[in-house]
């Protein structure tokens, strides 16, 4: 993509309304535009990142055996009356009357609707287990939306729902998602640690929050230093190997990790084995048994003919929130530093002297070569000052910058900068494609 | 995917509420479930088709130079008051009050919001032309939703908006979308014909509906027989070749095509050169000049320093509607016949005798081979009657069916059925991958 044609409205000044760094950088990097309090339009570069995150979340859900559906944003209030949550939910639920004076709402979550879909179609133990997920926009009418996409009102969430015949089976479904989440976050280039969360009246050990470590995080977290080394993704472990899955789950959940809400110095490791940091919640998984299936009549016939309420769990990932959370975890004073897998472009190509025939030609040639090699490149071909181009390129945080100017061209080279390390080196023009690695 | 694990709740009986064939088949094939009047959840197989259509629409928009953004579903009423449409829009607009008593709405379309985004960021003629599109769920509170996803209340639409400096430039933007639409529909495996539509007070020739021919279509259409032969996709024509684009556009728009609303026997070809058929609108493109830019102050500075209201057009494709429309255009008495490009699976593999060791093994082997060769296959491994498996496979309309049973296996072969032609033949097991073509 050529910058001269790309809709990438970067800002030089820090927007006053942005209190945290991810919000500031997303606005300055032309990724989003606020359209109402807590509601954002995603501009082309922001949407590219969002879609890359979404794609990785989807792939990992599919690998774990979850099946994708798509439920609508607008739900009938009747379903929520069945579960008893319609009155309980409070003002965060956006309530709507349609033209026929039917009570509707913009879904803040989907337990009721997925249970309704399940009960309409699944009648036999033979059809279990099932795990159905969707990636859809939700709405929570926050009283004070803030922090950009980190606490917006309209937000994109992946929510999965598992259905099992027994608590034992539900535990397996839970463990699959547990592993899947750690693999997902690792692919996104961030370190997320599962922390035991409140299970309410259900009890047990099947509720975890997944928290990304970031200095600017919303809560304090206490984690065993073992988290720095352990292979959370359990490479080679198959989702079908339930015995190994249990072992893995036990191993992981035995390593201490707690938010300040439930941190307990007594059971925590000694301070020399403990990291204290800040974190941002990006996922939450929860086993809730028959809470909705009982209330809404979602049951199946078992082998012996008996009727069984299905055991359910839910599994959320804040997809749009992740865009902000990853920036909180990966940036410097000059801008964003994208993990490679979700960077909006693989590299930025800066023409130091647009209009100079040799520079223009070298840039065009390299731009074409890189694309032919499978790289997605942003070429800054604008008639603008070099300083502005450098600042913009640092701000938008692409993994590599390739700088082409008259001096380097005399030697047949360009400068290649690694955004994360800041390291720069002169590279012969015909070596640049190989320097960037394989695509 | 194995049918025994797949969430594909097919129905044997015709649902009473479904008046038209696409609605009937989508419900029976387990593609959708109604959640409220005119609102549907997309089940796994329905969502797969929807996503394939969406992907083709996106690719063709990108090829034509449009850039993808994503605007939120919930919009502030203020924007619509600026354009004057808030009061004019009527009861089809789903109006919402948020917890702060601010007037909001679920977007039925996005002219106002995109104009707001444009005016906030684009100030110079240098940034033109621009064409921004998004693929987002819209809501229109139809008084009588019907026909399934063909006239639902919550529906997925691709809408693009072009911004140009002059009416001449806007004409080029319009022509690019015109060509892009014909290429899009052709890739979707359907024949769509552009028909001149009402331009209202703007006048001119820059408003077209794109109509798919289907016996069950909502309106009668009159088309020159030339449409049967002409290459509407203009292979080889570049979007950058504006002169050739004008020639192409003139050529296409000179071939007669009209809905019954504007059909005029006087100007139509003689009846022996005219086809009379029925059609379904799936796209609409429209040049509307400065209607919104003037009302909302979306202007840029021109070369000479003067301030110019930008010239705009909008370009819609009904993405979720297309799922229904394509079924209307492509089905028989037994079910859907998917065009290859958007079929939810490339082939269905029927195990005629699940539980029989030889059949099971042959099916598993072939299933693996086909997947290794890049095919997406649905294996019906259920313990069900052969008749039910045949009926279901015809219903869901995959391009090929591969039937494995004891008799064929004795000869080392399977039966391969082409769903569209009904043709069947015995094929040696080791030839099946090559019969299905290249992936």
**Does residue A428 register a pLDDT over 80?**
yes
Instruction: Find which of A99, A149, A163 to mutate to test the B interface (most B CBs within 10 Å of its CB).
Output: A99
pLDDT given for residue A289 in this prediction: 95
Domain edges within chain B = 21-336, 345-435
Considering only CA atoms, which of A367, A411, A417 is closest in space to residue A390?
A: A417
Q: How many CB pairs under 8 A join A and B?
A: 143
Please give the CATH number for the structural domain made up of A21-336: 3.30.930.10
pLDDT, average across residues B245-270 = 94
Contact A19, A13 (CB under 8 A): no
The reply to whether residue B74 touches residue A122, judged by beta carbons under 8 angstroms, is no
CA distance to partner chain B, nearest, from residue A414 (Å): 28
Average of pLDDT values for B400-419?
Answer: 97
Residues in chain B closer than 8 A to A3 (CB atoms): none
Q: Is B420 helix (H, G, I), strand (E, B) or coil?
A: coil
Mean of per-residue pLDDT scores for chain A: 95
Phi/psi of residue A55, each to 5°?
A: -65, -40
Chain A residues lying within 8 Å of B44, measured CB to CB: 67-69, 132
Instruction: Summarize the confidence of residues B25-43 as an average pLDDT.
Output: 98
Q: 3-state SS string over chain A?
A: CECCCCCCCCCCCCCCCCCCHHHHHHHHCCCEEEEECCEEEECHHHHHHHHHHHHHHHHHHHHCCCEECECCCEEEHHHHHHHCHHHHCHHHCEEEECCCCCEEEECCCCHHHHHHHHHHHCCEHHHCCEEEEEEEEEECCCCCCECHHHECCEEEEEEEEEEECCHHHHHHHHHHHHHHHHHHHHHCCCCEEEEECCCHHHCCCCEEEEEEECCCCCEEEEEEHHHHCCCCCCCCCCCCCHHHHHHHHHHHHCCCEEECCCCCCCCCCCHHHEEEEEEEEEEEEEEEECHHHHHHCCEEECCCCCEEECEEEEEEEEHHHHHHHHHHHCEECCEECCCHHHCCCCEEEEECCCCCHHHHHHHHHHHHHHHHCCCCEEEECCCCCHHHHHHHHHHHCCCEEEEECHHHHHCCEEEEEECCCCCEEEEEHHHHHHHCCCC
Region A153-176 average pLDDT? 98
Q: Report d(CA B308, CA B123) in Å as an integer.
A: 10
Assign B67 a pLDDT band (cuts: 50, 70, 90).
Answer: very high
Contacts of B165 (CB under 8 A, 6+ apart): B125, B128, B129, B300, B302, B308, B310, B311
Mean pLDDT value across residues A254-283: 94
Per-residue pLDDT tens over the stretch A109-159: 999 999 999 999 999 999 999 999 999 999 999 999 989 999 999 999 999
Select from B65, B70, B121 the Cβ nearest to the Cβ of A9.
Answer: B121
Residues B108/B138, Cβ–Cβ less than 8 Å:
yes
Are B98 and A94 inside 8 Å of each other by CB?
Answer: yes
Q: By the 8 A CB rule, do B384 and A126 touch? A: no
Min Cα distance B353 → chain A (Å) is: 18
Least Cα separation, residue A190 to chain B (angstroms):
25
Distance separating alpha carbons of residues A391 and B386, to the nearest angstrom: 66
Chain A residues within an 8 Å CB radius of B99:
91-92, 141, 143
Cβ pair B72:A99 closer than 8 A: no
Residues of B in contact with A113 (CB under 8 A): 35, 41
- Contacts of range B168-174, beta carbons closer than 8 Å, 24 or more positions apart: B169/B128, B169/B129, B169/B311, B170/B206, B170/B287, B170/B289, B170/B311, B170/B312, B170/B313, B171/B206, B171/B287, B172/B129, B172/B242, B172/B245, B172/B246, B173/B129, B173/B131, B173/B313, B174/B206, B174/B285, B174/B287, B174/B313
pLDDT digits (tens, 9 = 90+) for B134-155: 999 999 999 999 899 999 999 9
Task: Answer yes or no: do B96 and A96 touch at CB < 8 A.
Answer: yes
| pLDDT score for B124 | 96
Q: Is B346 helix (H, G, I), strand (E, B) or coil?
A: coil
Tokens 């029925």 found at: B278
Cβ <8 Å between A40 and B154: no
Residue A202: the pLDDT is: 66
pLDDT in tens, A327-349: 999 999 999 999 999 999 999 99
Predicted confidence band of residue A197 (pLDDT cuts 50, 70, 90): confident
* CA dist B235 → A389, B53, B211 (Å): 38, 21, 21
Residue of A nearest to B62 (CA): A1
Average pLDDT of the segment spanning B234-251: 97
Do residues B59 and B52 make contact, with C-beta atoms less than 8 angstroms apart? no
Angstrom distance (rounded) from CA B415 to CA B422: 12
pLDDT of residue A8: 98
Contact at CB, B43 and A153, closer than 8 angstroms:
no
Cα–Cα distance measured from residue B30 to residue B26, given in angstroms and rounded to the nearest whole number: 6
Q: How far apart are the first and last CA of chain A?
A: 17
Tokens of A9: 């409205």
User: Looking at residues B158-173, what average pLDDT do you find?
Assistant: 98
Residue B279 has pLDDT above 90, yes or no: yes
A143:B70 CB<8 A:
no
Q: Is the pLDDT of residue B202 over 70?
A: no
Query: Coil, strand or helix: which one is B196?
Result: strand
Which residue bears the tokens 């879909």? A117
Give how far A221 is from chain B: nearest CA, Å: 33
B123-134 residue pLDDT tens: 999 999 999 999
Residues of chain B contacting A381 with CB distance shorter than 8 Å: none
Q: Prior bond to A132 cis, omega within 30?
A: no
- Fold held by A345-435: Rossmann fold (3.40.50)
Q: Write the pLDDT tens digit of every residue in A367-421.
A: 999 999 999 999 999 999 999 999 999 999 999 999 999 999 999 999 999 999 9
Residue showing tokens 């064929």 = B408
Token couple for B278? 């029925």
Closest C-alpha among B277, B289, B281 to residue B171: B289
- State the average pLDDT over residues B241-267: 95
Residues of A in contact with B42 (CB under 8 A): 69-71
* ipTM summary value: 0.96
HSE-CB of A201 using CA atoms within 13 angstroms: 3
- In percent, how much of chain B has pLDDT > 90? 93
Give the CA count within 13 Å in the CB-facing half-sphere of A35: 29
Residue A7 and residue B121: Cβ atoms within 8 Å?
A: yes
Closest Cβ opposite residue B113 in set A6, A30, A41: A41
Based on the number of CB atoms within 10 Å of its own CB, is B31 exposed (0-12), middle (13-18) or buried (19 or more)?
buried
Name the minimum distance, in Å, from the CA of B42 to any CA of chain A: 5
Separation of alpha carbons B214 and B329, rounded Å: 4
Q: Answer whether residue B325 shows pLDDT above 80.
A: yes
For B344-362, what is each residue's pLDDT tens digit? 999 999 999 999 999 999 9
Q: Pick the residue from chain B with its C-alpha nearest to A163.
A: B7
Confidence label for A216 from pLDDT (cuts 50, 70 and 90): confident
CA angle A221/A226/A230 to nearest 5° reads 115
pTM of the predicted model over 0.95: yes
- Tell whether the model's pLDDT for residue B199 goes beyond 90: no
pLDDT at residue B8 greater than cutoff 70: yes
Question: Residue A121 and residue B75: Cβ atoms within 8 Å?
Answer: no
Average pLDDT over residues A180-201: 91
Chain A hits for B74, CB-CB cut-off 8 Å, are: 36, 39, 94, 106, 139, 153-154
């Amino acid at each position: 993509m050529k910058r001269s044609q790309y809709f990438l409205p970067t800002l030089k000044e820090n927007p006053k309304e942005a209190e945290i760094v991810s919000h500031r950088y997303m606005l300055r990097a032309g990724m989003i535009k606020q359209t109402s309090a807590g509601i954002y339009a995603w501009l082309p570069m922001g949407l590219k990142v969002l879609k890359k995150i979404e794609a990785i979340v989807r792939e990992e859900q599919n690998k774990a055996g979850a099946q994708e559906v798509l439920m609508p944003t607008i739900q009938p209030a009747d379903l929520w009356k069945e579960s008893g949550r319609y009155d309980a939910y409070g003002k965060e639920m956006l309530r709507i009357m349609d033209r026929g004076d039917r009570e509707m709402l913009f879904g803040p979550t989907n337990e009721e609707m997925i249970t309704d879909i399940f009960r309409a179609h699944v009648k036999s133990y033979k059809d279990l287990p099932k795990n159905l997920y969707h990636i859809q926009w939700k709405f929570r009418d926050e009283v004070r939306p803030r922090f950009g996409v980190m606490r917006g009102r309209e937000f994109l969430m992946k929510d999965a729902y598992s259905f099992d015949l027994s608590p034992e089976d539900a535990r397996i479904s839970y463990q699959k998602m547990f592993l899947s989440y750690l693999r997902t976050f690792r692919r996104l280039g961030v370190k997320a640690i599962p922390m035991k969360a409140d299970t309410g009246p259900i009890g047990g050990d099947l509720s975890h929050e997944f928290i990304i470590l970031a200095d600017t995080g919303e809560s304090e977290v206490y984690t065993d230093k073992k988290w720095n080394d352990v292979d959370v993704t359990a490479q080679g472990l198959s989702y079908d190997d339930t015995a190994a899955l249990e072992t893995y789950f036990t191993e992981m959940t035995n390593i201490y990790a707690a938010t300040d809400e439930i941190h307990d110095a007594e059971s925590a490791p000694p301070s020399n084995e403990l990291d204290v940091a800040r974190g941002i919640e990006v996922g939450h998984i929860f086993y809730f048994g028959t809470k909705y299936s009982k209330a809404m009549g979602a049951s199946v016939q078992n082998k012996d003919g008996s009727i069984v309420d299905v055991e359910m769990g839910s599994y959320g990932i804040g997809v749009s929130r992740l865009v902000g959370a990853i920036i909180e975890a990966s940036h410097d004073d000059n801008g964003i530093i994208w993990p490679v897998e979700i960077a909006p472009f693989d590299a930025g190509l800066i023409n130091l002297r647009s209009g100079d025939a040799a520079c223009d030609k070298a840039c065009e040639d390299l731009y074409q070569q890189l694309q032919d090699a499978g790289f997605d490149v942003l070429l800054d071909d604008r008639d603008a000052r070099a300083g502005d181009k450098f600042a913009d390129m640092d701000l938008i945080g692409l993994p590599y910058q390739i700088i082409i100017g008259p001096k380097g061209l005399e030697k047949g080279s360009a400068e290649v900068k690694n955004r994360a390390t800041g390291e720069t080196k002169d590279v012969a023009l015909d070596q640049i494609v190989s320097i960037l690695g394989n695509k």
